[in-house]
Structure 1
Amino acid sequence: MPESRPLRATDPREIGGFRLTARIGEGAQGLVFLGESGTGQRVAVKLLHADFGRDERARTLFDRELAAARSVAPFCTARILAADAEGDTPHIVSEYIDGPSLRDRVLEEGAASPAELVRLAVGTATALAAIHEAGVVHRDFKPANVLLGPDGPKVIDFGVARPLEATSATLTGAVGTPAYMAPEQVAGSAGGAPLDMFAWGCTMAFAANGVPPFGSDSVPAIMQRILYGEPDLGALTGELRTLVAASLEKDPAARPTALQVLQRLLGLGPNANLLVEGTSAAARPAAPPRAANWAPPAAPHPQAAGWTPPVPAPPPLPGTYPGGPPPAGRGGRVLLITGAAAAAVVLAGGLVAALLLMGDGEAEGGGRGGGGTPVARSTRSGSCAYRPATGTNTKDVGTPPTALPATAPSRATVETGLGTLQISLDAGTAPCTVNSLAYLAAQKFYDRTSCHRLTTGTSLQVLQCGDPSGTGTGGPTYQFDDESLRSARYTRGTVAMANAGPNTNGSQFFILYGDTTDLPASYTVFGRVTSGMDVVDKVAKRGVEGGGTDGAPAEKVTINELRTS
């Protein structure tokens, strides 16, 4: 458990509707408190030293950076639940990570083992890949901004170093921590994604050796070595040493990207879903790195000062089919089942939840939160319509509240007889769906139910769950409308609502264990599996009971408990 200290007489007792209970960190950017919501959810509340009210430029930059960070996918990062730069107490409320920082762990327990290093390298590279793909640059990546949570490392504090610096300095010049700054930062450039990869290499060397690769003495000496000296990589070996050395090249164009690092560490091809696979690998003990001859890319990659993110493909319009019309006999009728209006089949969609991590400086302790975009927004308005549904297999547990709560859950934990799945929830995209899931979970609706359908075709690979009757025609005594079908993407790890036709969502959901284009945008995507896909893969490997490609799974999987937080 991270160390906490009692509140001081001068500390606030409440910020942004969250009750503060203890101090858990203090750094250059601000104070970090342990807080609680009205429902008992623990959060990290960072009270910023910055005075945005007196500096319009800094507030504008801060808002712009947060907006950019909202497009960061939720892989190996913590979530921002609320942020306010307008009042007398500018603050950021984020997910609480119950674990120490990498800096504190190494200083207290020594260097990481080889297997721990690979897990750490995979998790942090995954986070940086997600950050960079959204066009965001961390600018202050370091061991203090990597928290070691129970489900793997989480990167915090990206996207805020520069706007916070701007409240007391100009908007140009070096921002960062000297021992982890890239040569272009030392030279005063704003820099781009490659400077984060330089910091990643320094952080991996610190984890392996207990000291940064360019020393930890005086700032002038460190900067001299960064500009002109060679790094000391110490105990690093094998492919990880090669990757770290390449990341520490003086020329930013010679450094690998985070995705290239991740691809090499995982040993996967370029078409793999690297962010999903990296998150899953970081959440479990890592295997030793694979031996391979790797060299930095010959083609230059995005320059430090001119990096821009890839442009995503536009989402399909309502009623269109991704990749062209579906083949005959597939498409809209795939896995659809008639019956109770709440009944549905499992078909999976892609979620890109936006996260920005906010932590604190070198003096902070563990257990802090990071930031993300307000995927599960803490200040929400609006209401949901839950209409009556009838059918012989419905189960009456009441109806969810129609008014959306102030704080939506951002995670679901599914305990099964084969292992645990962690799901990030996107209440920003599907608020009524997440509201219903949280309600049913609180009513124990899903507990002791079995996943009842598996589809193993080459173009559709899904596991369907959430029907207490086990027939595929069951659900609660209410139904509700589809949400955000324009943004639906059906890729491995996606969690989406099954339905019996438009606007007939109930309790059944499905998990995609393979990418597909053979599925219309007809199913509300509300989450993504961040760890535990091996459970679904195990069920898929056993196939369908009695053979075939669609039916009851041969490997029985029972949900012992589903809870949200």
Structure 2
Amino acid sequence: MQGNHGDVGSGPQYGGQPTHAPGGVPPWGGNPGPVHGFPQQGQQYYGGQFPGGRPPRNNVPWILGVIGSVAVVLIAGVGLFALSRSNDDNGAAPTTAPTSSTTATASLAEAGLPAAKPKAALVSCAYTDTAEPAAKPVTKPKQVEVTTTGADAKVSMSMQTSTGSVGLALNKAESPCTVNSFVSLVKQKYFDGTSCHRMTTGQGLKVLQCGDPTGTGMGGPGYQFANEYPTDQFTVSDPSAQIPVDYKRGVLAMANAGPGTNGSQFFIVFGDSQLPPQYTIFGTVNASGLATLDKIAAGGSDDSNGPDDGKPKIPVKIESIQLGN
């Protein structure tokens, strides 16, 4: 769902009011429509950017996820649905931070996701304006022709936060337009001085969502673009595209408010999570970055969106993101 980045929801359809957040409500979103985010447990909802919980009341995108074999988790927000849960959500889950130090690889094929089909060596990207203005002065990527092979296929970044450094490895071979947009935003210092507004710590959805300058799960860059890997490995009518898969620890993905509503909100998976393959994976986090995330996760969330879903108790501010290691 794109319109407003919000949370991820837990439904097979995108709609409603998304918010940026995983874990019940769709997490990532902020530009079009609902808030991007993740859906809440037991709820089907694409709206807002909020994963793993119920969509927030605002217009934000969500992310879907399933806990166990029955509970459905949505995430809403920009790029990646923001995680948010309604007050009546009783899907509490353990808050223990993951202990695994394994870093996900750049290709998630071994995580139960389909192997990425090779893309053309040069891909044309489309970035369309949204009704909502940019949450912070920024322009759309000037470069729309993106290479997917050779040395340019991988992009390294270092994200400095108030809690420590997080190394990022971006993959243009699988998600070229997403990486191109993220690099453009980084060069314009769009993320500098912004806070990570949502964290979910429940069973089946363990993510930290960032990328909204407003800190509400509703903000975006004023433009949106299509989903890439793994969504682009399925046809629109393929029912398996709504079946949750493992988004492994270390994955870097976009929150959204529904198909084609990616903007600036993103989430980092600090513990293996289950979501439908509707959230673009565009990179991974290094081992030292995961150690930083573990410290944040150990502090828990303030449960402002529901059990195990809210703002991180240890405030996380992105001080800067620099290209290169």
TM-score by length of 2: 0.59
Per the TM alignment, residue 328 of structure 1 is displaced from its structure 2 partner at its CA by 3.5
The C-alpha deviation readout for 1:446-476, integer Å capped at 9, x for no partner, is 1111110011111211100111110101010
Per the TM alignment, residue 542 of structure 1 is displaced from its structure 2 partner at its CA by 1.0
Aligned to 1:451: 196
Aligned-partner Cα distance in 2 for 1:527–1:410: 9
CA contact (8 A) 2:213 2:219 kept: yes
Match of 1:403 among 141, 145, 153: 145
Aligned to 1:339: 59
Per the TM alignment, residue 352 of structure 1 is displaced from its structure 2 partner at its CA by 3.8
- Quick one: which amino acid aligns to residue 468 of structure 1? P
Q: Kindly tell me: are residues 550 and 478 of structure 1, through their superposed partners in 2, closer, same or farther at Cα, counting changes over 3 Å?
A: same
Q: Is 2:321 the counterpart of 1:562?
A: yes
Q: Kindly tell me: are residues 453 and 483 of structure 1, through their superposed partners in 2, closer, same or farther at Cα, counting changes over 3 Å?
A: same
Per the TM alignment, residue 393 of structure 1 is displaced from its structure 2 partner at its CA by 6.2
Q: Kindly tell me: are residues 521 and 405 of structure 1, through their superposed partners in 2, closer, same or farther at Cα, counting changes over 3 Å?
A: closer
The C-alpha deviation readout for 1:353-388, integer Å capped at 9, x for no partner, is 36xxxxxxxxxxxxxxxxxxxx9x9x9312100000
2:185 is paired with a residue whose SS is helix
Q: Kindly tell me: are residues 456 and 330 of structure 1, through their superposed partners in 2, closer, same or farther at Cα, counting changes over 3 Å?
A: farther
Aligned to 1:493: 250
User: Percent of aligned pairs with the same residue?
Assistant: 40
- Quick one: which amino acid aligns to residue 323 of structure 2? T
Aligned to 1:472: 217
Q: Kindly tell me: are residues 409 and 440 of structure 1, through their superposed partners in 2, closer, same or farther at Cα, counting changes over 3 Å?
A: farther
CA contact (8 A) 2:127 2:225 kept: yes
Q: Kindly tell me: are residues 489 and 331 of structure 1, through their superposed partners in 2, closer, same or farther at Cα, counting changes over 3 Å?
A: farther
Aligned-partner Cα distance in 2 for 1:545–1:475: 24
Aligned to 2:301: 544
The C-alpha deviation readout for 1:138-172, integer Å capped at 9, x for no partner, is xxxxxxxxxxxxxxxxxxxxxxxxxxxxxxxxxxx
Q: Is 2:87 the counterpart of 1:328?
A: no
Per the TM alignment, residue 526 of structure 1 is displaced from its structure 2 partner at its CA by 0.6
- Quick one: which amino acid aligns to residue 516 of structure 1? S
Q: Kindly tell me: are residues 538 and 506 of structure 1, through their superposed partners in 2, closer, same or farther at Cα, counting changes over 3 Å?
A: same
- Quick one: which amino acid aligns to residue 397 of structure 1? V
CA contact (8 A) 2:133 2:221 kept: no
Q: Kindly tell me: are residues 563 and 440 of structure 1, through their superposed partners in 2, closer, same or farther at Cα, counting changes over 3 Å?
A: same
Q: Kindly tell me: are residues 433 and 397 of structure 1, through their superposed partners in 2, closer, same or farther at Cα, counting changes over 3 Å?
A: same
Aligned-partner Cα distance in 1 for 2:302–2:173: 38
CA contact (8 A) 1:417 1:557 kept: yes
Q: Is 2:218 the counterpart of 1:504?
A: no
Aligned to 2:278: 522
- Quick one: which amino acid aligns to residue 510 of structure 1? F
Unaligned runs of 5+ in 1: 1-325, 355-374
Per the TM alignment, residue 392 of structure 1 is displaced from its structure 2 partner at its CA by 5.9
Aligned to 2:290: 533
Per the TM alignment, residue 516 of structure 1 is displaced from its structure 2 partner at its CA by 2.0
Aligned to 2:205: 460
Aligned to 1:416: 161
Q: Kindly tell me: are residues 421 and 454 of structure 1, through their superposed partners in 2, closer, same or farther at Cα, counting changes over 3 Å?
A: same
Aligned to 1:353: 106
Aligned-partner Cα distance in 2 for 1:412–1:462: 20
- Quick one: which amino acid aligns to residue 500 of structure 1? A
1:395 is paired with a residue whose SS is coil
Aligned-partner Cα distance in 2 for 1:351–1:428: 16
1:436 is paired with a residue whose SS is helix
Aligned-partner Cα distance in 2 for 1:541–1:501: 30
Aligned-partner Cα distance in 1 for 2:212–2:271: 22
The C-alpha deviation readout for 1:85-143, integer Å capped at 9, x for no partner, is xxxxxxxxxxxxxxxxxxxxxxxxxxxxxxxxxxxxxxxxxxxxxxxxxxxxxxxxxxx
- Quick one: which amino acid aligns to residue 345 of structure 1? F
CA contact (8 A) 1:394 1:476 kept: yes
CA contact (8 A) 1:449 1:467 kept: yes
- Quick one: which amino acid aligns to residue 201 of structure 2? T
The C-alpha deviation readout for 1:21-61, integer Å capped at 9, x for no partner, is xxxxxxxxxxxxxxxxxxxxxxxxxxxxxxxxxxxxxxxxx
Q: Is 2:172 the counterpart of 1:427?
A: yes
The C-alpha deviation readout for 1:183-213, integer Å capped at 9, x for no partner, is xxxxxxxxxxxxxxxxxxxxxxxxxxxxxxx
Aligned-partner Cα distance in 1 for 2:267–2:206: 10
1:266-305 maps to which residues of 2 (within 5 A)?
A: none
1:429 is paired with a residue whose SS is coil
Aligned-partner Cα distance in 1 for 2:303–2:201: 13
C-alpha root-mean-square deviation of aligned residues, in Å? 2.9
Q: Is 2:122 the counterpart of 1:381?
A: yes
Per the TM alignment, residue 394 of structure 1 is displaced from its structure 2 partner at its CA by 2.8
TM-score by length of 1: 0.35
CA contact (8 A) 1:394 1:474 kept: yes
- Quick one: which amino acid aligns to residue 284 of structure 2? R
Aligned-partner Cα distance in 1 for 2:282–2:147: 17
- Quick one: which amino acid aligns to residue 353 of structure 1? A
Higher relative contact order (CA 8 A, sep 6+): 2
- Quick one: which amino acid aligns to residue 426 of structure 1? N
Instruction: Tell me which protein shows more helix as a share of its residues.
Output: 1
Per the TM alignment, residue 546 of structure 1 is displaced from its structure 2 partner at its CA by 5.4
Per the TM alignment, residue 395 of structure 1 is displaced from its structure 2 partner at its CA by 2.8
1:219-230 maps to which residues of 2 (within 5 A)?
A: none
Instruction: Tell me which protein shows more strand as a share of its residues.
Output: 2
Q: Kindly tell me: are residues 441 and 327 of structure 1, through their superposed partners in 2, closer, same or farther at Cα, counting changes over 3 Å?
A: closer
In the comparison of the two structures, how many residue pairs are matched? 215
CA contact (8 A) 2:171 2:282 kept: yes
The C-alpha deviation readout for 1:404-426, integer Å capped at 9, x for no partner, is 15835521211111111111111
CA contact (8 A) 2:135 2:212 kept: no
CA contact (8 A) 2:147 2:172 kept: no
Aligned-partner Cα distance in 1 for 2:202–2:308: 6
CA contact (8 A) 1:340 1:392 kept: no
Aligned to 2:16: none
